[in-house]
Amino acid sequence: MQSPAPTTKQEERRPAAILAIYSWDMVLALLALLGALAAFGGQATVGSRTVSVSLGEQVLAAVASASFAGLLIILATLLTRRRRWVRRAQMATLVTAIALGALSLLAGALVPGQGLQPSALTAVLVLVVDAAALLALTGERVIAWYDSSEGRTPRYLSGTLVFWAASSVVLVILQALR
């Protein structure tokens, strides 16, 4: 039996929260990819009725979900790098996800005739786990882990985040107008 490969001191001090956030990112990315495929269903449930969804809205929903999945996969692969911008980008993604989720739930609750969907409890659970991951990113050990070199967030990452947020806001508005 072989002994495990020796690890460096840096790897030994890596906070467990980073691994937990990495795992959560991958679960969310998988769900977002499934959401991208589900967007081509052609119909949506609004309250107690089923409505048809235009092809343009289906494509927008699929691309928004795919961009979110791509963003999460990129961030998950970068989380073990000790650069501050990685932590900031992860935090910006989580804050955006929480804001968009809350906006979607609020729109569903306030629009007459829609009411809260049965999936609202699941959405709230996802928002709570996102908030816990965000809180973990503010821990002392995690902050110390990313206290290495400074750098700028790559434009492709910022652009993907902005595209996902903008397209998701458009989808929330379209859903509220149904």
Q: What is the pLDDT along the chain (178 residues), one digit of tens a residue?
A: 554 554 555 555 678 899 999 999 999 999 999 999 988 887 666 556 677 778 888 899 999 999 999 999 999 998 888 888 999 999 999 999 999 999 988 887 777 665 556 678 888 999 999 999 999 999 988 888 887 777 888 999 999 999 999 999 999 898 888 7
The structural domains of the chain, with segments of one domain joined by +, span 16-148+173-177
DSSP SS3 for 43: strand
Task: Give the per-residue SS3 of 62-102.
Answer: HHHHHHHHHHHHHHHHHCCCCCHHHHHHHHHHHHHHHHHHH
pTM, full prediction:
0.84
